Amino acid sequence: MPDSSLAPREMSCRAFRDALGGFATGVTVLTALAPDGQPVGVTISSFNSVSLQPPLILWSLACSSPRLEAFRRARDYAVNVLAADQEWISDRFASPDPDRFAGVRTIVGIGGVPLLDACAASFECSSEAHYPGGDHVIFLGRVRRFSRSEVAEPLIFHAGRYRVLGDGS
C-alpha cells in the first residue's frame, strides 16, 4: 500500500520549504573579504559539488541578503563545513549581528580570506561565475585548496533543526 505521507502538497513557498527540509544537509559558513577588506560571512546549506575535473562547487545566496554584493564582488571565498560542536557558529553567522567574527578563531587563507578553525572541512575557492536563480544568486567556484578533518563529525540540518550523525554501525 502506498505511503500516504507522500501525498501531493499545495504549492506554497512554506510548503515547498518544509518539503526541502526533508533533505538532510551539511551546514556551511561562507567567508570572504568585502571590498573594504573587512571579513564577511554567512551561514548557508545550499552547497554542492559540481565537477571533479576541474574541481568546481556551487552554492546560493538569497537576493535579499545584505552580504550578497560582497560575495558577488569577491575574487576568493571559502566554504567552511561546520563540525558537530559548531552549532553556535552557524547561529552567529545566520544572525543580524554586525560583528559575526567576534570570538570565532580564524586562520588566513588564499587571498586573505578568513577560514574558520576546527571545521569538518574547508574549500578555498576562486569565483568562476554567478547566475540568477529565482530569488537567489547561484555562485560557481573553482576549488584551489581544501582540507578535511580526520576526527570532526559534521553538523547536519534536517527538518528545521540541527542534528549530528549517530554511530550507525
- Is 81 part of any domain? yes
Tell whether 148 is covered by a domain. yes
| Residue 94 within any structural domain of the chain | yes
pLDDT tens digits along 55-70:
999 999 999 999 999 9
The confidence band for 24, taking pLDDT boundaries of 50, 70 and 90, is confident
78 inside domain: yes
Q: Is residue 115 part of a domain?
A: yes
- Give how many domains the chain has, as a whole number: 1
The rounded percent of the chain whose pLDDT value lies above 70 is 92
Tell me the CATH number at 99: 2.30.110.10
- Tell me the pLDDT band of 7, cut-offs 50, 70 and 90: low
Tens-place pLDDT, residues 25-37: 999 999 999 999 9
- Span 94-130, pLDDT tens digits: 999 889 999 999 999 999 999 999 999 999 999 999 9
Domain holding 39, by residue range, is: 26-153
Q: Quick one: pLDDT band at residue 14, thresholds 50, 70, 90? A: confident
pTM for this structure? Answer: 0.89
What distances in angstroms separate CA 20 from CA 14, 17, 23, 28, 128, one per listed residue? Answer: 10, 5, 6, 17, 27
Predicted confidence band at 169 (pLDDT cuts at 50, 70, 90)?
A: very low
Q: What pLDDT score was predicted for residue 6?
A: 63
List the single range of 11-15, 73-77, 129-133 with lowest mean pLDDT: 11-15
User: What pLDDT, on the 0 to 100 scale, is given for residue 2?
Assistant: 52
In a domain, 4, yes or no: no
Say if 83 falls within a structural domain.
yes
| Amino acid 132: pLDDT | 98
- The percent of residues in the chain predicted with pLDDT above 90, rounded, is 78
d(CA 45, CA 162): 12
70 within a domain of the structure (yes/no) = yes
